[in-house]
């Protein structure tokens, strides 16, 4: 440590949690004098007991967690503070408490007492969601990079934030089309916000969450070429074939996208849980991860030509065989999935979830298997895993698997009967 430049040592110390930093400062006078506690944010014992008086002992703190803490009301002396978590209806921090602060990030959700942060010229990240007291006037002088206004009706217009890159305006946020007409974001979330209907002017937009009863339909995104789209339960989005850059799509539940709406796409990651309209993804030769769980329309024929790395087929009775997927590393075949022993006899996974699947009974051929969930009504017993060298095993409520000597190398093990001794 002494061989490192002092600036590097300070950076390393600032990355330590409270307990580690406190222990290190007790090693010597040098450490206690030159290295100060800066983190009162995570891994703090009895963090709810922090008070104004206690905080006076830590003038060098840069990160503070004061969520729902009534006893913290004065932060005047904490001029080095950069990150403040002051959320919750019971938080004692108000406008007066932060009048001398110039933060970089502030979380003030559910805090009605914080109404104005215009003096924070360095502020880049603000969470003012739900019942926060901050409205348009309280941020009129700011130029943030990231803003969350989820369910905050008081924030209506953020057009002045020319540097804004990430915006959450979901649900009952007061922001509508007019409130973002001048913005060119990178990431936008408008789930269940009926007031936002078109984002075609955002030519730089890469990630869009427009799920639920969002106002955005096909016309509202027809000029975009996104990288990621999350359109769960949005019946108005039906066709995105023109998005040639799209890599990730969530079209779960009652999403309006069906086979024809993705016929020309070659995604990397796709989730279509409970979407009956999507039945075939064989044309997606680059697809690596697929969630085709529950009452999804995809069956064996719909995936017969793809070679995934990760597949979630939980509770999908129509998927019965994935033997052709020689690259498959992670498989969720839990519940009433149609996959049985024959459907996985030629693959060598690293991770398998077979919880509640009575049809899977033996996985001894999977020499690379590290993590196995064989809990509840899974058909696997001790003989079905006797040749494996697992690192993680969950067999809770599976009385067919009992603790054996060969399991001593497993780091995480949850068995149906913890009272059984190793034999």
d(CA 416, CA 396): 4
| Mean pLDDT for the chain overall | 93
Q: What's the confidence (pLDDT) of residue 404?
A: 73
d(CA 62, CA 109): 20
Question: Do 293 and 316 contact (CB within 8 A), yes or no?
Answer: yes
At 331-378, the pLDDT tens digits run 999 999 999 999 999 999 999 999 999 999 999 999 999 999 999 999
CA atoms of 59 and 201, how far apart (whole Å): 46
Q: Which residues are 188's β-sheet partners?
A: 167, 208
Residue 12: band (very low, low, confident or very high) from pLDDT cuts 50, 70, 90? low
Read out DSSP for 390-421?
-SEEEETT-TT----GGGTT-SEEEES-TTPP
167 beta partners: 147, 188
Give the CA distances from residue 286 to residues 266, 271, 282, 367, 407, in Å, rounded to whole numbers and listed in that order: 6, 15, 10, 26, 38
Residue 422: which residues within 8 A CB-CB, separation 6 or more? 403, 404, 405, 407, 408
Going by C-alpha positions, the residue among 118, 10, 129, 132 that lies closest to residue 60 is 10
pLDDT of 301-325, one tens digit each? 999 999 999 999 999 999 999 999 9
C-alpha to C-alpha distance for 8 and 341, rounded to whole angstroms:
54
Provide the pairing of β-strand 310-312 with 330-332.
parallel
The reported pTM is 0.92
The percent of residues in the chain predicted with pLDDT above 90, rounded, is: 83
- Tokens describing residue 366: 């999977």
Place of tokens 């999908």: 316
pLDDT at 421 over 50: no
Residues 384, 361: contact at Cβ < 8 Å?
Answer: yes
The mean per-residue pLDDT over the stretch 400-405 comes to 82
- Rounded Cα–Cα distance for residues 369 and 348 (Å): 7
pLDDT score for 420: 38
How far is residue 288's CA from residue 307's CA, in Å, rounded to a whole number? 7
404: left (phi over 0), alpha (psi -120 to 50) or beta: beta
């Amino acid at each position: 440590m002494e061989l490192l430049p002092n600036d590097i040592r300070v950076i390393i110390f600032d990355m330590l949690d409270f307990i580690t930093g406190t222990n290190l400062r007790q090693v010597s006078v040098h450490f206690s004098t030159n290295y100060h506690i800066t983190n009162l944010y995570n891994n703090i014992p009895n963090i709810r007991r922090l008070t104004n008086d206690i905080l006076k002992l830590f003038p060098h703190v840069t990160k503070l967690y004061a969520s729902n803490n009534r006893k913290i009301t004065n932060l005047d002396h904490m001029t080095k503070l950069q990150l403040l978590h002051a959320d919750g209806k019971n938080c004692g921090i108000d406008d007066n408490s932060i009048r001398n602060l110039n933060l970089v990030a502030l979380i003030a959700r559910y805090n009605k007492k914080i109404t104005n942060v215009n003096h924070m010229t360095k502020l880049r990240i603000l969470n003012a969601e739900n019942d926060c007291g901050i409205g348009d006037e309280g941020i009129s002088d700011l130029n943030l990079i990231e803003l969350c206004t989820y369910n905050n009706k008081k924030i209506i217009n953020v057009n002045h934030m020319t540097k804004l890159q990430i915006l959450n305006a979901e649900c009952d946020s007061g922001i509508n089309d007019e409130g973002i007409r001048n913005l060119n974001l990178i990431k936008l979330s408008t789930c269940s916000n009926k007031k936002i209907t078109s984002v075609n002017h955002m030519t730089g937009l890469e990630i869009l969450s427009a799920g639920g009863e969002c106002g955005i339909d096909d016309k509202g995104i027809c000029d975009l070429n996104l990288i990621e789209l999350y359109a769960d339960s949005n019946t108005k989005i039906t066709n995105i074939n023109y998005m040639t850059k799209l890599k990730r799509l969530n079209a779960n539940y009652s999403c309006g996208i069906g086979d024809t709406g993705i016929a020309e796409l070659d995604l990397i990651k796709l989730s279509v849980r409970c979407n009956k309209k999507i039945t075939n993804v064989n044309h997606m030769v680059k697809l690596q991860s697929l969630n085709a769980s529950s009452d999804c329309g995809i069956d064996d024929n719909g995936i017969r030509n793809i070679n995934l790395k990760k597949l979630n087929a939980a509770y999908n009775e129509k998927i019965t065989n994935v033997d052709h997927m020689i690259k498959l590393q992670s498989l969720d075949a839990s519940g009433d999935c149609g996959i049985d022993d024959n459907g996985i006899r030629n693959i060598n996974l690293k991770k398998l979830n077979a919880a509640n699947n009575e049809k899977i009974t033996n996985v001894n051929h999977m020499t690379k298997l590290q993590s196995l969930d064989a809990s509840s009504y899974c058909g696997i017993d001790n003989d079905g895993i006797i040749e494996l060298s697992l690192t993680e095993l969950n067999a809770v409520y599976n009385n067919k698997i009992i603790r054996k000597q060969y399991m001593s190398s497993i780091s995480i093990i949850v068995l149906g009967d913890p009272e059984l001794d190793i034999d």
